């Protein structure tokens, strides 16, 4: 039986902190789930999640939600929305982590 562990492990931040310092985060926020469902995007699929450091996660959530709220203000296609989600993730990975 396959598990999602290998898939999720490869999403750890490049500097690979111990797993207990990470928390799984949905790339596509729950508050917009009905919109994503209409576009056939399963927000809970492992490919649509990312590991964020716990210390940084709460700081990133308001900005993450605001980006989505702004983006969702006009109709978009499934492909455009998937691309936006992964662009947001790429941008987050390129931001430096906060100091402990």
Contact 51, 11 (CB under 8 A): yes
Residue with tokens 């590991």: 51
Residue with tokens 């917009």: 32
Asked whether residue 49 is domain-assigned, the answer is yes
The total of structural domains in the chain comes to 1
Asked whether residue 13 is domain-assigned, the answer is no
> Which structure tokens are listed for 5?
């562990």
Asked whether residue 30 is domain-assigned, the answer is yes
Out of 9-13, 15-19, 41-45, 53-57, least confident range: 9-13
Sign of CA dihedral 40, 44, 46, 52: positive
Asked whether residue 10 is domain-assigned, the answer is no
Asked whether residue 5 is domain-assigned, the answer is no
Asked whether residue 82 is domain-assigned, the answer is yes
Domain boundaries, position 77? 23-90
Cα distance between residue 15 and residue 13, in whole Å: 6
Quick: pLDDT tens for 27-72: 999 999 999 999 999 999 999 998 877 776 677 778 888 889 999 8
With vertex at residue 81, the alpha carbon angle to CA 74 and CA 78, rounded to the nearest 5 degrees, is 100
């Amino acid at each position: 039986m396959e598990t999602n562990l290998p898939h999720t492990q490869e999403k750890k931040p490049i500097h690979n902190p111990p797993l207990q310092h990470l928390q799984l985060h949905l790339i596509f926020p729950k508050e917009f789930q009905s919109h994503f469902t209409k576009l056939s995007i399963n927000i809970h699929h492992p490919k649509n999640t990312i590991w964020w450091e716990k210390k940084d996660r709460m700081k990133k959530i308001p900005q993450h939600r605001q980006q989505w709220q702004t983006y969702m203000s006009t109709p978009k296609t499934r492909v455009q929305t998937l691309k936006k989600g992964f662009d947001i993730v790429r941008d987050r990975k390129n931001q430096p982590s906060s100091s402990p």
